[in-house]
Chain A
Amino acid sequence: MTDPIITARGVDIFYDTKQAIHNIDLDILPNKVTAFIGPSGCGKSTFLRAINRMNDLIPSCRISGDMKIAGQDIYAPAVDVVALRAQVGMVFQKPNPFPKSIFENVAYGLKIHKITTSKTEMQDRVEWSLRSAGLWDEVADRLDDPGNSLSGGQQQRLCIARAIAIKPKVILMDEPCSALDPIATAVVEELIDNLRKDYTIVIVTHSMQQAARVSQRTAFFHLGSLVEYGETKSIFTNPTDERTQNYITGRIG
């Protein structure tokens, strides 16, 4: 088995005194799609956001335990959170392109991280990102149009293009399809499958069917604890824990 890229050991997350995540041990494998599933309020989004330290923006949120990416403790004082987020990208539930043009949206990450050195290099990279996101054919002739003039599904793919433009190692996706119609969802799911070759993807989803379609490994969360984690096929066909069984069959959740 390959070395995990993200390892969590004994992670607890608190909001003031309320404990949202209890003692999680988890390994995320590289170049695989890992799905986090579970009923509402089980803490899967909270745990996801701990991976790129987006919980730092919430003053009342505290984390303890060990969270390592590529062997480095991401909560160590020496870690530059900007560097972390440059290498761990995120796509949000509601598509949020910047109020700028399509080109500007994708190029923003390249600009602030000073990745490209010339204008042509930037244009090439933007084209490459949009192609990888499967959006190029639809927007090639209108790159200067505002990002929010696109449909919902296109906007989400734009956000994905924006995230991959800087070639992160990991892409975190927090319920990326919940605001999209079925056709757009299908397009994004196919995109995720294509991206898996070059990126590690962690996706939070409230749809078990989506998890079954898209992921190779699945983690089931319940009331802040990691109940079961393993190959997607075995979780869905042969769960070991009773709670997992109840969730999959629809008895709870």
Chain B
Amino acid sequence: MIDLTKKAGFGLAGRHRAEKRFKWVGRSAIAISLMFLALMVGSITLTASGTLRQTQIAVQVDLGAENVDPTDPASASYGRLVKSGLRDMFPDVTSRREKKALYNLVSPEGSFEAAKLVAKDPDLLGSTQTLWLTASDDLDLYLRGKIDITLPQNQRQISDKEVVWINALQANNQLRRVANWNFLTGGDSREPEIAGILSALVGSLYSLAVCFALSFPIGIGAAIYLEEFAPANRLSDLIEVNINNLAAVPSIVFGLLGLSIFLGYMGLPRSSPLVGGMVLALMTLPTIIIAARAALRSVPPSFKEAALALGASPVQAVFHHVFPVAMPGMLTGAIIGMAQALGETAPLLMIGMVAFIVDIPDSILEPATALPVQIFLWADSPERAFTEKTAAAIIVLLIFLISMNLIAILLRRKLETRF
């Protein structure tokens, strides 16, 4: 008789169990990956949150006419003025050592900030003004409770005297925390309290722009030629094998190539995004070509056939019909290549982009660094406050990556033709 129940035999119990097991293995794999992802992003975000705000200290600076020439305010020695302002706030500090510690409450950038404040608002001149200047990184760390006061004095970055002064400042409301815009608008610095990501961000943008401008047209063109027009002979096979191998070459080799040809033979400027972009383009080309060829192969041949039967020339048939349909796949390949290029430091090392560069580059010919390089340099610095900056830079890099992917998805949606 026909038995349709579960006990019908056919090894059903074991098979159903295996199905259930596999489903749970899959679910737990996804759960574990998500957990690790959440852990990583969570811990980085937590560490980076310290960069969101910076501490400022109110200093009474005498901007009277004998200190600052009203006709040429930029010529004044603001460093000296800030120091004397601090001394006036704490008149019982006399010894050389202690005075130095007092001056160190304000960031070394303080004197430059004072000059900028005066330049922006000349009405401040002529009297003693309260200027809010960036505090030192150690002061900032102490205020946020990151320095353990219970340790003996020689084991921490803040001395007992400094703790007394900071507490006094706080009691007089002479300390405040403000949003740290400097991180996004400023360039690199040795002082963690004012270090910013802008020069690295602009450098990365320029390099990626050059990389895309070079690798996308050349890569797509090469893929179209190899896939649609090249004769099927030994030479084409050789080219295909070589392209596949190049995709696996360690990226530093391209850096060496860039060093010897672009810097050495062509004499292009060192550390420039132009050379960085060219080296990254070399590295990304194989990825784009391989992805583009796969996209072209996935186009149903019926369109090309119909076009040819209608009397289109081969180039017309490919560019009017095959290429638009393959475009979304090609774009995906290009974005994967760009994302890879964004995170590379090894090729940039050889051409001089792993460097301390403060000024924001104005063009692709000026020295610049890149986001992953900035992260690497900051991770290597001794100052404690740089760990937070490193985490924040990683967040910026992740946001950059996600934005690029979003743009790719939007572009794909727009260009995708339904067929």
Contacts and interface: CB of A to CB of B under 8 A. Distances in A.
* Bound together: yes
Interface of A: 52, 54, 57, 59, 82-87, 89-90, 92, 94, 96-100, 108-109, 112-113, 146, 148, 159, 162-163, 166
A113 B307 contact: no
Contacts of B312: 82, 108, 112
B417 A92 contact: no
- Report the 9 A-B pairs with minimum CB-CB distance, sorted nearest first: A86-B311, A99-B419, A90-B309, A85-B311, A96-B302, A99-B417, A96-B306, A109-B310, A82-B313
Contacts of B316: 112
Question: Which of B305, B306, B307, B311 is most buried by chain A, counting CB atoms within 10 A of its CB?
Answer: B311
Contacts of B325: 99
A98 B309 contact: no
B321 interface: yes
B318 to A, nearest CB: 13
A148 B418 contact: yes
B320 interface: yes
A148 B418 CA distance: 8
A98 B321 contact: yes
A163 B308 CA distance: 12
Contact of B311 (A82, A100, A159): A82
Question: Which of B306, B316, B419 is most buried by chain A, counting CB atoms within 10 A of its CB?
Answer: B306
A171 to B, nearest CB: 11
Contacts of B307: 98, 108
B232 interface: yes
B306 A159 contact: yes
Contacts of B306: 92, 96-98, 159, 162
A56 B277 CA distance: 43
Contact of A163 (B232, B302, B310): B310
A159 B305 CA distance: 12
A162 B419 CA distance: 17
A108 to B, nearest CB: 7
A99 B302 contact: no
The secondary-structure label for the interface of chain B is helix
B303 interface: yes
A106 B419 CA distance: 17
Contacts of A83: 311
Given A92-B306, A99-B324, 16 more contacts: A82-B312, A83-B311, A84-B311, A85-B310, A86-B310, A90-B310, A94-B302, A98-B303, A99-B303, A99-B417, A99-B419, A100-B417, A108-B320, A112-B313, A159-B306, A163-B310
A109 B311 contact: yes
B305 A96 contact: yes
Question: Which of A82, A89, A109, A159 is most buried by chain B, counting CB atoms within 10 A of its CB?
Answer: A82
B418 A89 contact: no
A159 B310 CA distance: 10
11 contacts: A52-B309, A83-B311, A85-B311, A89-B310, A92-B302, A92-B305, A96-B305, A99-B419, A112-B313, A112-B320, A146-B418
A113 B311 contact: yes
Nearest to B416: A99
B89 to A, nearest CB: 74
A99 B321 CA distance: 8
Contact of B309 (A59, A89, A100, A148): A89
